[in-house]
């Protein structure tokens, strides 16, 4: 059923001080949570109502004959182009507004295309199991701008640092590589290995590019704080903040940790076992804060997975940098969970106490179908909703039934995500989904190669 529309909020001003008093109102302004700061704050009510009115029959099907499974979807920043990363070496381009097919890059790579990332409204990058990254220009799609060689295994993830204008990629070789695409020539592109870890699955940059998050198939989540991409991280050179779980029940530095994820440290500091105090002592803390590229290692709490271990298959960041969104599969492959973790900033209460930057706030169990395939989920552009592959369709999830801001409904203990809408229109397992950045539209792609566009009809 459609989500109910709420009455508009009254303008916030010092004379009409809300609950919490004047200081509460001022704090709300600092956090960008006041209508006086964000005039468009209430537009989410209209958008939520539109999303809630979408029917499965409203979906538009996009398909070609030969491209195989859809592994990833990406809109251009202005929402004018939808790109599709396909199993059979192809990249498809559509106009998502008219649902018209624009172009098929039939031999974009020599193997599966895994991920697509726009650098701006015309330049985008693709990566593949053929170990390469390709740069493309929408104005000239008949040929690649250039091909980047540097990985030695399947390349799975592309990020772009808007501050330094550096391209960042990660692959199953365990490497995170930095590329200076502004200095590409016919002979190649200047690049360097920035970081290495075992079992690497996904890598993301926070929206302000101040942190790098890396998920692993062994259940670890690595966070590089105060990120400096211009500084290469050799083995053993990065300071360790602390290695611990997101709850006080376990610490991966202890010998009593249970589950496959505690067998060894994900970082190539040492091949002999978990991170040790010897390695942590290398950290030279800056006064008043952590050193650049400080490494934090966490094993995020996953409901029902405390004794069996898990694999973090999908990793996304809240568009305002407030939280991270994980899709986790149990090592026994019989459960999947979508989990939201709030970022907790600041130094430890005591210098010797374990640091823990993430706290589980919301979660929901997912349909356990399509085993062996990664399901890519996403936040809406305003961060109030989550679109998650669920069997042969997608579920729209909210932090509460009203689709409130995360910061407005943080629970004291982990709470279930609320199902706002379910949309089932595929005839096979959905592997990826994406919100349009500019329109009320959601795209999803499935194992048999169909792309569906969900949008309200008037």
pLDDT at 263: 29
pLDDT (average), residues 268-284: 33
Separation CA 226–CA 395 (nearest Å): 34
CATH code assigned at 63: 2.130.10.10
35 belongs to a structural domain:
no
Q: What is the pLDDT of residues 176-207, one digit of tens each?
A: 999 998 887 767 788 999 999 999 999 999 99
Find how far residue 141's CA is from the centre of its chain: 27
The strand order across the sheet containing 175-179 reads 155-161, 166-171, 175-179, 191-196
Measured distance CA(88)–CA(189) in Å, rounded: 26
| Confidence band, pLDDT 50/70/90 cuts, at residue 39 | very low
Task: Flag whether 191 is in a domain.
Answer: yes
Q: Which residue has the tokens 């590329």?
A: 179
Residue with tokens 């089932």: 424
Lowest mean per-residue pLDDT among 30-39, 224-233, 271-280, 441-450? 271-280
Q: Domain of residue 232: give its range.
A: 40-244+292-454
Asked if residue 249 is part of any domain, the answer here is no
Distance CA 317, CA 211 (A): 11
Domain assignment present for residue 228? The answer is: yes
Nearest Cα to Cα of residue 320 among 440, 169, 210: 210
Please give the Cα distance from 255 to 249 (Å, whole number).
13
In a domain, 282, yes or no: no
Residue 330 lies in a domain: yes
Q: Is residue 359 part of a domain?
A: yes
Question: Tens of pLDDT along 91-124?
Answer: 999 999 888 889 999 889 999 999 999 999 999 9
Give residue-wise pLDDT tens across range 72-95.
999 999 999 999 999 988 999 999
**What's the pTM value of the predicted model, to 2 decimals?**
0.80
Tokens 């459960």: give the residue.
335
pLDDT band at 239 (very low <50, low <70, confident <90, very high): low
Please compute the mean of the pLDDT values over residues 208-226 and round it to a whole number: 92
The lowest-confidence range among 65-74, 134-143, 437-446 is 65-74
**Residue 281 in domain:** no
Compute CA 165 distance to the chain's CA centroid, rounded to the nearest angstrom.
20
Tally of domains within the chain: 1
Query: What three-state secondary structure class fits 292?
Result: coil
Residue by residue, DSSP assigns 81-128 as -EEEEESSS-EEEEETTTTEEEEEETTSSSS-EEEEEESSSSEEEEEE
Question: Computed from CA positions of residues 396, 400, 401, 402, in that sequence, does the dihedral angle turn out positive or negative?
Answer: negative
Q: What sign does the CA torsion over 240, 361, 24, 27 have?
A: positive
Over residues 324-333, the pLDDT tens digits come to 999 988 766 6
């Amino acid at each position: 059923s459609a989500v109910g529309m709420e009455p508009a909020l009254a303008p916030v001003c010092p004379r009409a001080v809300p609950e919490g008093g004047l200081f509460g109102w001022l704090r709300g302004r600092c956090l960008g949570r006041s209508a006086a700061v964000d005039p468009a704050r209430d537009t989410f009510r209209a958008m939520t109502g539109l999303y809630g009115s979408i029917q499965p029959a409203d979906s538009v099907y996009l398909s070609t004959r030969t491209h195989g499974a859809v592994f990833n979807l990406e809109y251009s920043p202005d929402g004018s182009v939808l790109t599709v990363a396909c199993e059979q070496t192809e990249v498809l381009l559509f106009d998502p507004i008219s649902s018209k097919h624009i172009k098929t890059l039939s031999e974009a790579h020599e193997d599966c295309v895994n991920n697509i990332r726009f650098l701006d409204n015309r330049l985008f990058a693709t990566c593949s199991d053929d170990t390469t990254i390709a740069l493309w220009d929408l104005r000239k799609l008949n040929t690649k701008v250039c091909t980047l060689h540097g990985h030695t295994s399947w390349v799975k993830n592309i990020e772009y640092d808007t501050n330094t204008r550096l391209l960042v990629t990660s692959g199953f070789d365990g490497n995170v590589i930095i590329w200076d695409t502004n200095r590409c020539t016919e002979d190649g592109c200047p690049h360097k290995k920035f970081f290495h870890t075992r079992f690497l699955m996904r890598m993301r940059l926070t929206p302000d590019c101040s942190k790098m998050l890396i998920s692993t198939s062994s259940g670890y989540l690595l966070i590089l704080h105060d990120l400096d991409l211009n500084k290469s991280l050799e083995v053993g050179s990065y300071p360790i903040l602390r290695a611990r779980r997101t709850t006080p029940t376990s610490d991966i530095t202890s010998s009593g940790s249970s589950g496959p994820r505690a067998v060894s440290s994900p970082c190539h500091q040492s091949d002999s076992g978990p991170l040790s105090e010897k390695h942590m002592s290398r950290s030279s803390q800056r006064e008043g804060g952590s050193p650049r590229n400080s490494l934090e290692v966490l094993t995020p709490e996953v409901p029902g997975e405390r004794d069996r271990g898990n694999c973090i298959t999908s990793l996304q960041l809240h568009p305002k940098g407030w939280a991270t969104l994980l899709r986790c599969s149990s090592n026994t492959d019989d459960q999947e969970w979508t989990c939201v973790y709030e970022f907790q900033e600041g130094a430890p209460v005591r210098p010797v106490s374990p640091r823990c930057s993430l706290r589980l706030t919301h979660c929901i169990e997912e349909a356990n179908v399509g085993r062996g395939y990664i399901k890519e989920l996403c936040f809406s552009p305003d961060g109030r909703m989550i679109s998650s592959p669920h069997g042969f369709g997608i579920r729209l999830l909210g932090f509460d039934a009203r689709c409130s801001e995360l910061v407005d409904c943080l629970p004291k203990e982990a709470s279930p995500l609320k199902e706002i809408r379910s949309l089932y229109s595929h005839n096979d397992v959905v592997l990826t989904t994406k919100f349009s950045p500019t329109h009320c539209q959601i795209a999803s792609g499935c194992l048999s190669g169909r792309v569906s566009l969900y949008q309200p009809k008037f």
